Structure 1
Amino acid sequence: MAVLAELLARAARESVTLFLVAPLAVLCSYLIFNVFFHPLRKVPGPWVAAASPLWLWYHSYIGNETTSIEQLHSVYGPVVRIAPNDIDVSDGAALAPIYSEKGGFLKAPCYSNFDFDGHPTIFSALDPAHRAIRAKAVVSMFSPASIRKEGDAVLQSCVKRLVAHIKGEASTGRPVNMLNMGRCLALDAVTEYLLGKSYGGIAELEACRSNNDRARLSASEFVDTFVAVGRFFLLPN
């Protein structure tokens, strides 16, 4: 019995050791593979980004992903490895090959995070054929010709209303919230062009000024939600 108890105790100790060592060994193997043996190992970039996606996820979460990647380009050149399976290209000549509507590259898997109730949308669909069928219904609205023909007048109208509001604010001598103004301009222009009816954000600014009110705009929570979602955009689905 004593021998059996000793064997069981030793097995328990070894199981605990294996439980602790095995994940560490797997993690080290993963990091070493990404840095030294990965197919993208020769792409320039910091080793910390090559080893793990945590570097990219962190900068995406705190909101300085763009500036951080731009700094990498200044050090490593136009092509930079920003995660084990991701590279970033800073070259205008690459726009057409990457984003071409008749070819180009597939979207990253993280776009699936924006599926609606499990169904791909025009924005989240990874399959170009699936997206193309649905995009036909709205693609004409976003063509350069349509935007110049109809969108330009809408934008000019919204800008004129905002300029009039800014002039009114200038007469008060009080500080203004330029972020709110930019949001209202964007909301009014987009909704009036796409839906045929303005959201009324600039009118809401006028109402706040008339009432000497600096209250939070009704659309702020909606817009802030989009900003917040951006923090988690790159996380795996």
Structure 2
Amino acid sequence: MNPTMKDTQSLAKALAAYITPYTQDLVTLLSLVPVVSVILWYIVSYFQSPLKKYPGPPLAAWTNYWRMYHAYKGSMHVITKEMHNKYGPVVRMGPNYLDIDCSSLIKTCFDRNGVWKKSELYAVTGVLHNGKITYNIFSETDSAEFIRMKKPIAKHFSTSAVLPFQRHIDSVLAHFVRKIDERYGSMGDEETGIFDFGKWMHYLAWDMVGKVTYGRRIGYLDYGYDFDGTLSKAEKAVDYAVTIGMQPKLDSLLDKNHLYRIGPPTMLSLVNLSVQHLMRRYTGGDQHDGKLDFLDRYIKAKAENPDVVDDDRLLSYLLVNMAAGADTVAATLRTIFYLCLRHPAAWARLEDEVLSAPFAQQGTMDLPVSFAQARALPYLEAVVRESLRLWPGNCFSMERYVPAGGITLPDRSFVPEGVLLGFNAWVMHRNTTTWGQDAEAFRPERWLRDEAGGETEGEYRGRLTEMNNNDLSFGGGLRKCIGQNIGLLEVYKTVATLVALYEFELLDPDKEWTIRTSLFPRQSGFEIKMRRRPGMEMTEGVGLDE
């Protein structure tokens, strides 16, 4: 007898009732497979990792989100130092990452041939434009491509090549002096001469870099605030890079998402400014002062190297000038004045040296101070070196991949190819083995010969060489900061000129500044009182074209 439709339906219901519990269990089981797989992958990776022998915070061995959290909080430099204090010179701070505090590895890992390649942290600062990711001389991780990018412009950053830019810096320094005198009073008293020094060093640095790059100031000294929002956007872009750079694969889902971008605010105002100056320079409509600037040199590099430098590459050079050059100079200037003013003996010695120099004497006054005049001051040199040691422009670990063949660490342990090693200058510059038991202290005298202690010239030269070899203020090797010389030019001239012109005093000598580190250190929260020194006037720069 053939089954009826009713019989079929009844059978189906019975069968469904029978297998439903098993089906539900199967669905549940299948849904757990990805979760269990991930957990098993982490467990296997952890126990099979060649890095499991190295000490470190337990969570960091399992995930990079530990580092991401501290990067987001702006405290990576502090937590890294704490980890080294606790665990020693080699600390596992990621599943595939070791942070290193061994100065003997600097020369090896920061090689001049680019064998030790940058990590994807740097690539996060690349730009997605028209469906293509463009890298610059900072973000490019491929050493051969970096060399290709750098070669057309490298000659323009030598010490002799940047000296002609002094006239641009003189002009901006003169403008800074005028604006400070107008806003806060040239003589200063209890009501005037008091201002947020950290902010104004930021404005000064950005306008100086704008002047040497485009031949024009950006305008922050005129407005006295972040009038176009670029400074805030630049900070957020760097914060994004160092945070997401701890887990770089996330960048493809966020800032480099081809379908819908989720990232930091773009620095469109700075991009537009660069484009405008470039187009006007091409057409002769750029109203700059006619003195040679980086834009002129980059246009020349394009003409000489058309196979490497197109307009996009030229614009990337301009943006790196601005985004990397200004913040590091600002941080260094803030550090120098704050640390010296917090150490009265150091400040008094710096003042005495500057005010005793020929350029500060009545009848021979020569301000702004030239680079040669500033570099002739040994204590100023020591102050700059010591400030950069304690607060280098980059307070984040510089990451490099172990190349083929691996490396044997000083403790004789072996690290295989593909592992990331990080070197934090802020941490390594506080290593007591290298820098002495007072490595945490601000003591510019460490950079000078200790004649009172009987140190011979030969002993001093040997000690200085050792300090130079362990100095990572500007990085090292092939990827050493290309803008080091122009940055130092700005710093030396600014410090010598302002010390000659003004008396300085911290508004609250007992108040600590506030510091947040991203890629660059950001110091804030210290106000100063500035008064013009009697008879001290700017003798050059005031009448220069703006």
Q: Tell me, yes or no, whether TM beats 0.5.
A: yes
Provide the TM-score with structure 1 as the length reference.
0.77
**Paired letter, 2:54:** V
Q: Conserved in 2, the CA contact under 8 Å of 1:34 and 1:50?
A: no
Aligned to 1:211: none
Supply the distance in 1 between the matched residues of 2:209 and 2:199 (Cα, whole angstroms): 15
Question: Shift of residue 54 of structure 1?
Answer: 0.9
Q: 1:127 aligns with which of 101, 118, 142?
A: 142
Secondary structure at the counterpart of residue 40 of structure 1: coil
Aligned to 1:44: 55
**Paired letter, 1:16:** T
Instruction: Please say if 1:115 is aligned against 2:126.
Output: yes
> Which one has a larger percent helix, Structure 1 or Structure 2?
1
Q: Conserved in 1, the CA contact under 8 Å of 2:172 and 2:217?
A: no
**Paired letter, 1:13:** D
Q: 1:53 aligns with which of 61, 64, 67?
A: 64
Aligned to 2:214: 195
Supply the distance in 2 between the matched residues of 1:163 and 1:71 (Cα, whole angstroms): 41
Instruction: Please say if 1:136 is aligned against 2:147.
Output: no
Supply the distance in 2 between the matched residues of 1:229 and 1:155 (Cα, whole angstroms): 31
Q: Conserved in 2, the CA contact under 8 Å of 1:50 and 1:81?
A: yes
Aligned to 1:204: 223
Supply the distance in 2 between the matched residues of 1:144 and 1:12 (Cα, whole angstroms): 73
**Paired letter, 2:145:** H
Post-superposition Cα deviations, 1:56-93, rounded to whole Å, max 9, x if no partner, equal 11111222122211211111222222111122222334
**Mapping 1:22-41, distance limit 5 Å:** 22-41=33-52
Post-superposition Cα deviations, 1:144-188, rounded to whole Å, max 9, x if no partner, equal 5545x3567766765565466556636244753334213212212
Change (3 A) 1:158 1:228: same
Secondary structure at the counterpart of residue 45 of structure 1: coil
Instruction: Please say if 1:18 is aligned against 2:37.
Output: no
Post-superposition Cα deviations, 1:38-66, rounded to whole Å, max 9, x if no partner, equal 12222221121111111011111222122
Larger deviation, residues 156-165 vs 118-127: 156-165
Secondary structure at the counterpart of residue 152 of structure 2: coil
Change (3 A) 1:78 1:190: farther
**Paired letter, 1:236:** P
Aligned length: 226
**Paired letter, 1:19:** S
**Paired letter, 1:190:** V
Larger deviation, residues 187-196 vs 127-136: 187-196
Aligned to 2:99: 88
Supply the distance in 1 between the matched residues of 2:195 and 2:101 (Cα, whole angstroms): 36
Q: Conserved in 1, the CA contact under 8 Å of 2:120 and 2:248?
A: yes
Q: Conserved in 2, the CA contact under 8 Å of 1:35 and 1:47?
A: no
> Which one has a larger percent strand, Structure 1 or Structure 2?
2
Larger deviation, residues 182-191 vs 55-64: 182-191
Secondary structure at the counterpart of residue 82 of structure 1: strand
Q: Conserved in 2, the CA contact under 8 Å of 1:50 and 1:84?
A: yes
Change (3 A) 1:146 1:5: farther
Change (3 A) 1:154 1:85: farther
What are the ranges of 5 or more consecutive residues in structure 1 without an aligned counterpart? 206-214
Instruction: Please say if 1:75 is aligned against 2:86.
Output: yes
Aligned to 1:169: 184
Q: Which has the higher contact order (CA 8 A, sep 6+)?
A: 2
**Paired letter, 1:186:** A
Q: Conserved in 1, the CA contact under 8 Å of 2:64 and 2:247?
A: no
Supply the distance in 2 between the matched residues of 1:78 and 1:104 (Cα, whole angstroms): 23
Structure of higher CA gyration radius: 2
Change (3 A) 1:129 1:158: same
Post-superposition Cα deviations, 1:187-220, rounded to whole Å, max 9, x if no partner, equal 1232233333332323333xxxxxxxxx554343
Instruction: Please say if 1:183 is aligned against 2:183.
Output: no
Q: Conserved in 1, the CA contact under 8 Å of 2:220 and 2:226?
A: no
Q: 1:226 aligns with which of 237, 240, 252?
A: 237
Aligned to 2:247: 235
Aligned-residue sequence identity (percent) comes to: 23
RMSD: 3.0
Larger deviation, residues 132-141 vs 172-181: 172-181
Q: Conserved in 1, the CA contact under 8 Å of 2:184 and 2:193?
A: yes
Change (3 A) 1:92 1:98: same
**Paired letter, 1:105:** W
